[in-house]
Amino acid sequence: MFIELSLGKFENFTKKDLNIGINTIFDAINELFLNNIPKNINAEDFGQWVKEVFIFNDKIEPSKFNLINIYKEIEGFKNLKGKGVRNLRIEKLKKIFNNLSYIEAKYFTKIVIGEMRGGIKEGLFKKALSKFYDIDKKDFNEIFLKSGNFKNLIENFRKGEFKIEVLKPIPMMLAEKVENFEEIFSENKKNIAIEYKYDGIRVQIHKKGDSVKIFSRNLNDITEKIPSIVLKIKDNLKDINEIILEGELIGFNDKKELLPFQILMSKIFKEDKDDYCVLDIYLFDILYLEGEDLTNLPYLKRMEFLEKIKDGLNRVKFLITDDIDEVKNFYDEAVKNGFEGIMIKDLNGIYSGGKRGKLWLKLKKVLTVDLVILEAFWGYGRRMNWLSDYMLYCLSKDMNKYLPLGKTFKGLTDKEFQEMTERLLNIKIEDIDGGIRVKPEIVVEVAFEDIQRSSKYESGYALRFARILRIRDDKLPSDIDTIEDIEEIFNKLHNL
């Protein structure tokens, strides 16, 4: 509970489940203090603004809540639904704020709107817990993988047993980017598995008896959003009691053409059901089978297990090779068929959940980075009514600060500009010259042709010919690229 509150990330619900924005809190504070709000508050963020309002109204008495109360009150927001829900949220917020000290009001606000950036990251908690329990880093990471999250981890320490539990998500293994074919074999790899990189939604599938749960890459439960896939899993894995699989969720239109990622996301998560869409799953890994943890097995062995059980389910197209020309041909075939590129996997590699490393690599058809929008500016001409020019940021080395890499107004359709404008206005922090400053919530995948050194930006770099490929609602701001990633790409592009 303490870890969840410190990180502002919760195991049983997401910020979207809470659905509390700055405007809702502003209205609650206004009502609580009967509109007695000073006009000129000098505050670095909205949490600080709330604190100053409390002080202005002489509300500085000690809190009537403890951590358990706070956690339960926050969790309670996810159950508020239906007509008049915004008023219910405001009343609940007023009750909570009335029981908080001015310091707690500041941090409660930062938690529920997703602005907890106090320098405390998951890695720091992992390091502290590994020292507390006197476990070396490698063993601790394996234990954390089996536990899935901090809440389960601490419970497992209490029970003294560490094992994967079906229906509880496991942190997903991540791939490192490469920019060319030569890098693929730079680690002295021999045989490797290369696979099509699908432009879909990565999912982790759990089945236990008749129960099926499907989780997104951020470990959010999306089972109810994709009933056709749940049915497909049940129909094809009837004889298997317990299993955990990973795969890519993709969609087809009525011409059996692959749907782009952005359209697929809208079909599943935005209730855009107007057009024809058939969902399917393409599997690429198996992590658990009938009581046996497979994560420490080599990838080749896991592939063999997957081949035996997949039955009527699809498998990603793959090739095992040590020939660079075969890799190039496979890549060309993937791109020609409309796929993003290829994945490259070490056949001897174990499954390292939650980690990005060289056991898995990805080569895409364009240079891309994942960045977050922090400032948006009004456009010109036909775009004058849209926030259509975006300042893009990466994370600092310590992941405690955002660093600018330049602007782009390219890549989105008129409809997407309109939708993006509405989203940005809902997360506005303040007005700035020509636009607005927003909370770091919207992650975008950005294509570019080059990276240049730049004294104009604090990062020291600028993207050339940047354009937004897609909005990554499946990623968190903590998932974006860091300045180290930018420097690495720069060095590779300029042979440094």
Active site residues: 197
Residue type, 177: K
Residue pair 369/489 in contact (Cβ under 8 Å)? The answer is yes
Residue type, 441: E
Say how far apart CA 285 and CA 359 lie, in whole Å.
Answer: 14
Summarize the chain as % helix, strand, coil (round to 5): 35, 25, 40
β-pairing, 314-315 vs 278-289, is parallel
Give Cβ neighbours of residue 26 (< 8 Å, ≥ 6 apart): none
CB atoms under 10 Å from CB of 147, counted, come to: 22
Residue pair 315/283 in contact (Cβ under 8 Å)? The answer is yes
**Two tokens, residue 242:** 């317990």
Q: DSSP string covering 238-275, please?
A: TT-SEEEEEEEEEEE-TTSPBPPHHHHHHHHHS---SS
Say how far apart CA 102 and CA 232 lie, in whole Å.
Answer: 52
Phi, psi of 113 (to 5 degrees): -100, 5
Cα atoms in the Cβ-side hemisphere of radius 13 Å centred on 244: 21
Phi, psi of 23 (to 5 degrees): -65, -40
Helix axes 122-132, 137-147, angle to 10 degrees: 110
CB atoms under 10 Å from CB of 237, counted, come to: 19
Say how far apart CA 460 and CA 447 lie, in whole Å.
Answer: 19
Beta strands in 127-220 (DSSP E): 174-177, 192-197, 201-208, 211-216
Say how far apart CA 94 and CA 142 lie, in whole Å.
Answer: 43
**Two tokens, residue 28:** 């609650």
Among 346, 446, 439, smallest CA distance to 405 is for 446
Q: Which helix (H) or strand (E) holds 406?
A: strand 402-408
Say how far apart CA 342 and CA 338 lie, in whole Å.
Answer: 11
Q: Is 28 exposed, middle or buried (0-12, 13-18, 19+ CB in 10 A)?
A: buried
Q: Is 40 exposed, middle or buried (0-12, 13-18, 19+ CB in 10 A)?
A: exposed
**Two tokens, residue 426:** 């809902």
Give Cβ neighbours of residue 75 (< 8 Å, ≥ 6 apart): 10, 12, 13
